[in-house]
Amino acid sequence: ASMSPQTETKASVGFKAGVKDYKLTYYTPDYETKDTDILAAFRVTPQPGVPPEEAGAAVAAESSTGTWTTVWTDGLTSLDRYKGRCYHIEPVAGEENQYIAYVAYPLDLFEEGSVTNMFTSIVGNVFGFKALRALRLEDLRIPVAYVKTFQGPPHGIQVERDKLNKYGRPLLGCTIKPKLGLSAKNYGRAVYECL
């Protein structure tokens, strides 16, 4: 059986499926951060053989517009407008093969007033990334423009204490364990004991 012309062509020019070189698109050392950017500092430990710039770029890509392979929907958006950018990387003093990768994210990537959306976007998918042996979010700068989108609590602590009639002690929020399996009676009993 002969190979299809398309397969032969791809093989003859060294077609290779799989991991992309993120550094070309997501490592931008000339980028000047904006007051509206969310800035993150990640401690990265690249896998052996992975340059630190590639590891930093991979974090920026995977936590914004990138994916491990080319997808047809890439052409439907402005990657340059929405992508995260690793704009600086520096070695961690006294640590072998550890770097701080600084990543800037445009505010347009995030839903207004949603801490959940912000953290899911920034750290939700990158921790299982194969180019990295270890990763930790060290610091985050949230711009005033984004902070202003959060409404805050509808009322203060005094109203909460008045509603609960609890004063002079901490108020704790917790989950009754086990989360599932208790009868309504036993669940109610456990909740009552917490009051």
Residues in the chain where the model's pLDDT stays below 50: 1-19, 68, 72-73, 76
Q: How many CA atoms within 13 Å lie on the side-chain side of 60?
A: 35
pLDDT digits (tens, 9 = 90+) for 84-111: 888 999 999 999 999 999 999 988 888 8
pLDDT in tens, 9-36: 333 333 333 445 767 677 888 999 999 9
- The answer to whether the predicted template modeling score (pTM) of the entire model surpasses 0.85 is no
Buried-exposed string 82-94: b where 16+ CB fall within 10 A, e elsewhere: ebbbbbbbeeeee
> Domains in the chain and their CATH numbers?
18-148 (3.30.70.150), 157-194 (no CATH)
Q: What is the pLDDT of residue 69?
A: 52
The chain-wide mean pLDDT, for the chain, equals: 79
Pairing mode of beta strands 85-91, 38-46: unpaired
Asked if residue 178 has a cis previous peptide bond (ω within 30° of 0), the answer is: yes
